[in-house]
Structure 1
Amino acid sequence: MSGSLFHAREFRVDHYTGNDGQPHHEVVPVDGDAEIISYSSWNELKVYCELHGVPPEVWPEFDGDHAHGIDVPLDEVAAMQGPFRAAIARLPPEVVGGNRRLAQIASFLQRGEQVFFC
């Protein structure tokens, strides 16, 4: 099973009525993108980072309650960025460079983008 890593300087919300008849919204990256990543690869990345001092609770991720960027609360996304950005910034360059996905995320953060996974 896979999820999506969203990244962008900002996100917009598109509102719609779902098949369930209820109002929903979808988070859309503005001048960004969404990368498809398996949950196992995402978890391996978190374990790698935890070995180097990044606590699992700082990762900006949304699981079961938010499927594929639908209904993800942007205020929560924004609130998670500071602690996550600080934790990644503390990692030594050789640790960041030692994992391709981590290096990619670090480059998003260095460009001033926000990131989240769901």
Structure 2
Amino acid sequence: MENYESIFWLCCCIPLVNFFIAYLVFAQMTVHPIEKKIKASGGSIPEWDNMGMRIPSYAVAMLLPVKVKAAQAIDEDSVQKFTSKSDKKRAIYFMCSFVIILIPVMAGYFIFGPN
């Protein structure tokens, strides 16, 4: 059983690397330029990153039409205003890569988890 577990976790490394790349690309090519545009228009951006949730918050604000003001640390209206089609595509890729890494990790925990 140990051999299968090693192979399984090794196979999980590919989606994990994919997620890290998606995170970096989304943060640098989408979030950073949008924050510059928000600052230039006189808006405010979050001062603190609250445990790394700023980047996923931008992705959620771009993809979901429903506004959840109380749960977001960002100005969703400004994000929607400055979002382009390529930004939305990167947000979809970012969120899908997150789900793709979550599924095998959760499955591995339940299959090979604590005895």
> TM-score by structure 1 length?
0.29
Which is richer in helix? 2
> TM-score by structure 2 length?
0.30
Q: Which has the larger radius of gyration?
A: 2
